[in-house]
Structure 1
Amino acid sequence: MRRYVVFIFTALFSLYAASAHADKAVTQTTSPSANGQKHVIPQRGTLYRATHGSNVSYLFGTIHVGQTAFYPLEPQVTRALSDAKKLVIEVDINNTEAMRLAIMRHGIYPDGQTINRHLSADGSVQLRQALKRVDIPFESVARMKPWMIANLLLIQEMARNGFPTEQGIEKYFISIAQEQNKPIQELETADYQLSLFDSMTDAEQEEYLRENLAELANGDAMKKALALISAWQNADARALDGALLEMQKGETASDRFLQQVLLDKRNPNMANKVETLLKTDKTSFVAVGALHLLGDKGVPSLLQKRGYEVQKIY
């Protein structure tokens, strides 16, 4: 279940990326192959077009990690962003001070407290074993909360497998928007996003951590994450919908948290923000985690139920 974090949660790890900025964005829509011929750039993720009168909002589903091979994105996406008057993302990940303050408030224990006070004996042993496997000293994470350590280890494992956060789709879009002098607007704040994880009880946080550690240790976390990235990379709608259905079947506390809090609680608020954009902006481009756009409770479906015209482009 935890592998879905790379699709729906963006704020936490921008401070831990190996680089503060993505490579300079490439906006060309075709590129030469080895024999000098041009090839068509494949579709990625999922793309919707919502309209209200003459106003348009494009909704693109992202992942929050990436690699240079993903870029440039295909013409429909780059044209939609070029046409838009503003870029809208979940959180402005370039606002590192807001990130730092949110992490200190929600992800770090107060002075004098360590994670040992909040974990069972078995949980502490499992954590120390996991940290030893990846050569991270316990002292470097001792004041981090369990949910934060779990997500940090997952993101670091993603980076080791060639998918770092500094190559994430949001950074790519931000670089294009900056080149085109477009305003950048956020749907949420870093403080709000991290407060959702901090809302878990100690017991729920330990369960979240231990499930993550087990999946990282046996390889399931990367196996499933890579399958989801492949689905996004190939715009495989059936695989993405299947991933959402699998998550909805989860029976653990952390499964329910992911579905009920990170998706179901946030999607209506995101739909509210997009609705405002449709009423006030001629053209906007909205980039959010791909799972926010899927299913009956996804943002496109919520907008459609409110009477807006929503077209799935792919």
Structure 2
Amino acid sequence: MKKISTLLVLLLFVAFCSFAQDSSMLWKISGNGLKQDSYLFGTIHMLCPDDFVIKQKNLDAFNSSKKIIFEVDLSKPENAKSLQAFAVSDPNFIKAFSADEIKRMDSVLRAQQLSITLLDYASPVAVISLFSMKGFDCPDPTKMKSYEVELAALANSQGKTIGELETPDFQFNLLKDLITPKLFMESVFQLDKYPALTAKMVEAYKTENLEELTKLLEDSAWMTVEQKDKLLIDRNLNWSNLIPEIIKDQSSFIAIGAGHLAGNKGLISLLRDKGFTVEAVK
């Protein structure tokens, strides 16, 4: 049975094809007429404080860049307001479940100190995000770190220009389309698997091991072809058309989920196909 219970994983750091010979989360873009180098940095969108670090090579690339580009610029006030609006509950969502399904899900959630009544107060997307946070099993979830938040703050302190590849509306509508009642229920019933899987993925990320991320995530049980197309391939193709214009005149540091880096339709390959030299920064 196909699942999206690891939707959190897909948005955090999915990777599907091996770049074992050059494992890195930081890649330099050069050549093809560029006057200066730019960088791709694969992020994990949240981490426990003890696991969070910005390595010196990433700081060096960041500091040398004029523009900082995110999937979405969370430092923009209008984007923050949009995120709040997207968290509003959808009264019709829970109506898709039978009374027995609601009872069984609530039993599982209560064992995790949660409740199905979360859907009365928050959107399915927001509830799935909460599931993902529990998967990290941080001592204090309120202190989780985000590369996007930390790098945006650093960019603002340095007066750097911040840009974005997508809008919050696009991302929310994409997730809303993918999180069907069936897939939400599957997520609930797999909550106990989140911590172990997340721990392995965090370790692979910290050691910059794209090959290990691939082994953890390439199993078709985690994602249908349609989900892969919508979450990764379609977005990668769009970004690969936007990035050449972004890096044409100014050095840019482009921070995107690490899962968008690798594979035949990953940004590394797509930018190489456009004539750029894309090299791992060790």
TM-score (norm 1): 0.75
Q: Residue 292 of structure 1 corresponds to which residue in structure 2?
A: 260
Q: Residue 181 of structure 2 corresponds to which residue in structure 1?
A: 206
Q: Distance in 2 between matches of 1:164 and 1:65?
A: 11
Deviation of 1:188 after TM superposition, in Å, equals 0.9
Instruction: Tell me the secondary structure at the aligned position of residue 167 of structure 1.
Output: coil
Instruction: Tell me the secondary structure at the aligned position of residue 49 of structure 1.
Output: strand
Share of identical aligned residues, percent? 24
Q: Distance in 1 between matches of 2:137 and 2:62?
A: 27
User: Do 1:61 and 1:292's aligned partners in 2 also have CA atoms closer than 8 Å?
Assistant: yes
CA offsets per residue over residues 54-75 of structure 1, 9 Å max, x none? Answer: 2322001110111333454222
Paired residues, number: 268
Aligned residue type for 2:203? S
CA offsets per residue over residues 105-158 of structure 1, 9 Å max, x none? Answer: 58632xxx3433122344322332233234445444325444442232222443
Deviation of 1:168 after TM superposition, in Å, equals 1.3
Q: CA RMSD in A?
A: 2.8
Q: Residue 278 of structure 2 corresponds to which residue in structure 1?
A: 310
Q: Distance in 2 between matches of 1:275 and 1:305?
A: 12
Q: Distance in 1 between matches of 2:96 and 2:80?
A: 24
User: Do 2:42 and 2:256's aligned partners in 1 also have CA atoms closer than 8 Å?
Assistant: yes
**Bigger RCO (CA 8 Å, 6+ sep):** 2
The answer to whether the aligner puts 1:133 opposite 2:99 as a matched pair is: no
Q: Distance in 2 between matches of 1:98 and 1:7?
A: 22
* 1:75-224 superposed matches below 5 A: 75-95=56-76, 97-102=78-83, 104=85, 108-109=89-90, 113-136=91-114, 138-142=116-120, 144-158=122-136, 160=138, 166-200=144-178, 205-216=180-191, 219-224=192-197
Q: Distance in 2 between matches of 1:299 and 1:209?
A: 29
Aligned residue type for 2:151? F
Q: Residue 259 of structure 1 corresponds to which residue in structure 2?
A: 228
Aligned residue type for 1:221? Y
The answer to whether the aligner puts 1:58 opposite 2:36 as a matched pair is: no
Q: Distance in 2 between matches of 1:210 and 1:165?
A: 28
The answer to whether the aligner puts 1:245 opposite 2:245 as a matched pair is: no
Uncovered stretches (5+) of structure 2, i.e. residues with no partner: 14-22
User: Do 2:118 and 2:127's aligned partners in 1 also have CA atoms closer than 8 Å?
Assistant: no
225-234 or 303-312: bigger deviation? 303-312
Structure 1's 158 and 100: CA in aligned 2 closer, same or farther, altered over 3 A?
farther
286-295 or 232-241: bigger deviation? 232-241
Q: Residue 272 of structure 1 corresponds to which residue in structure 2?
A: 241
User: Do 2:28 and 2:281's aligned partners in 1 also have CA atoms closer than 8 Å?
Assistant: yes
Uncovered stretches (5+) of structure 1, i.e. residues with no partner: 11-43
Structure 1's 184 and 70: CA in aligned 2 closer, same or farther, altered over 3 A?
farther
User: Do 1:85 and 1:182's aligned partners in 2 also have CA atoms closer than 8 Å?
Assistant: yes
The answer to whether the aligner puts 1:227 opposite 2:200 as a matched pair is: yes
Structure 1's 67 and 45: CA in aligned 2 closer, same or farther, altered over 3 A?
farther
